[in-house]
Amino acid sequence: MKTMKLTMIASALLSSSAALAQITAITNATIHTASDKGVLESATVVIEDGKIKAINPENVSADTTIDGSGKVITPGFIGTMNQLGLVEVGAVAASRDAGDDDAGVDFDTSSAFNPRSSLIAYARKGGITQNLVTPWGGKSEFAGLGFVADLSGEFDSVTDEHTALVVKLGAKSKGSRAKALDNVVNKLTAHQQKLDKAEDKEKDSKPSNEEQVLSAVLAGEMPVVVWVSRASDILEVIKLKRQFGLDLIIAGADDAVVVADELAAAEVPVIISAVSNLPTSFDSLHAHLENAGKLEAAGVNVILSIGGDASHNLYQLRFDAGIAVANGMSYEGAIKAITATPAKVFGIDGGVIAAGKRADLVMWSADPFEYSTSIDKIWIEGEEVTTESRHDKLRERYTTDSDMPRAYTK
């Protein structure tokens, strides 16, 4: 009898919760779906319980209806390859948590992620709703594990841990790139041999964290992001993909255009900065504003990321995408390069506007790649979030007449 009562109460609570679920409909908007459906004009998208319920339903029944006339709707943008939430002020060592001398294969920084970092609210102003956070590592070629977090600012905003293994290769200020590559090959070979032997006998102990990561990598279950730029190095890394069956992504890749056909044939996505247009080393002699468009034309899956201080400048991702379009990349290709492509490559729920997908959406006043465009509304997992940042509060503080002295501290 007691069990029946508990069951009835639980059922009632679930029914009540479902009844309270709010349905939001955005109507009459231009929707960039970042999917095969392309751009939909005067379209409607319906949000319910954190998901996209429908696109252009015949009948719209919603608790809240928002007129999107003259507005542009895109999926929330996805940042990659930065330390957002792991750094506050780059010059202050105590606020940096993305690196450690002892970092290696299993270096996991997700526990250090700060969802209340002032940088997160600022990045959200640029339409960023999710982000692949990556460690900088330490002395090892293996920098550690990337993870995914949304930019809601909530304490449960880390949505996926151990998303990808990050490896740093290429030019060295001390030592040889050949030795670094050998270290990676030897690590993978040793673990593969251990796995092969384990098939013949029962394991007598639980694998270490490092062993679990390497096993996932060798099984193709965890992507490997390799920082490398020189064309010859990229070809060597493609050999690693074939040798070990890696799910490989190349980051940096200033010389990728030289081997674009090889990257396309090997189905290796490339993460590049659209504004990398000058060589910063002998590894990046082919850096150019047209690289994103050329890689797209060659059939390479391109992800656009911020170069330089990406953690503090992630807000600029939409402007970098616009620069890529101005220099040869297709408009929809640029949209996908910051939405659908990173979502697919890293297994992130979101990045497209389609029924059943996570409701990360941005309503723009006009073309999101234009400098003068602003965000009207932004939703993360179906919840509308603010675009106010610390910058807005400081502007208000110092431009509003007050009885307080100038530059007051309390």
Confidence of residue 407 (pLDDT cuts 50, 70, 90): low
Query: Residue 281 domain-assigned?
Result: yes
Query: Residue 399 domain-assigned?
Result: no
363 bridge partner residues: 73, 377
The per-residue pLDDT for range 227-262, each reduced to its tens digit, is: 999 999 999 999 999 999 999 999 999 999 999 999
Contacts of residue 31, Cβ cutoff 8 Å, sequence gap at least 6: 39, 40, 43, 45, 55, 72, 73, 74, 353
Structural domain boundaries enclosing 247: 77-352
Domains in the chain: how many in total?
1
Identify the pLDDT of residue 393. 86
Query: Residue 313 domain-assigned?
Result: yes
Query: Residue 358 domain-assigned?
Result: no
β-pairing, 128-133 vs 77-82, is parallel
Query: Residue 206 domain-assigned?
Result: yes
Identify the pLDDT of residue 124. 96
The per-residue pLDDT for range 292-346, each reduced to its tens digit, is: 999 999 999 999 999 878 999 999 999 999 999 999 999 999 999 999 999 999 9
Give the Cα separation of 238 and 78 in Å (integer): 25
CATH of the domain at 297: 3.20.20.140
Give the Cα separation of 256 and 297 in Å (integer): 13
Query: Residue 364 domain-assigned?
Result: no
On whether the pTM is more than 0.85, the answer is yes
Query: Residue 36 domain-assigned?
Result: no
Query: Residue 367 domain-assigned?
Result: no
- The 3-state DSSP class for residue 336 equals helix
